[in-house]
Amino acid sequence: MNVIGCKTCVQRWHRSSTQPSCPLCRRRWIATPDVSPMEIIKSRRQSFRLRQIRATRRSHSRQPY
C-alpha cells in the first residue's frame, strides 16, 4: 500500500490508532503504509510528460506532407 503526502503525518496517523485506517476512506490498514513524497510524484509526472511530448514530435515528423 502506498500513500502520497506528508510522511510524518501519515506515520503519526498510523501510530495514533489501535486499528489503523486510511485517513481518507477509513479502510483498515493491515501493514504500515509506504509514503511517496510529493517531489517523487512531481518528477515522475514531468518525466511522463517529456516522453509524451517526444512521442508526439516523432509521430508528427513521420507524417508525409
pLDDT of residue 64: 65
The residue segments making up the domain with residue 22 are: 2-61
What digits encode the pLDDT tens for the residues 37-59? Answer: 777 777 878 888 899 989 888 88
Residue 1's pLDDT band, with cuts at 50, 70 and 90, is low
pLDDT of residue 15 exceeding 80: yes
Query: Rounded to whole angstroms, how far apart are CA atoms 49 and 64?
Result: 25
User: What's at 2, amino acid-wise?
Assistant: N
pLDDT of residue 65: 58
pLDDT of residue 23: 80
Angle formed at CA 36 by CA 42 and CA 18, multiple of 5 degrees: 150
User: 36: helix, coil or strand?
Assistant: strand
User: Residue 20 burial by CB count (10 A; 0-12/13-18/19+): exposed, middle or buried?
Assistant: middle
The residue among 4, 40, 38, 36 whose CA lies nearest residue 22 is 4
pLDDT of residue 63: 65
Q: How many domains does the chain have?
A: 1
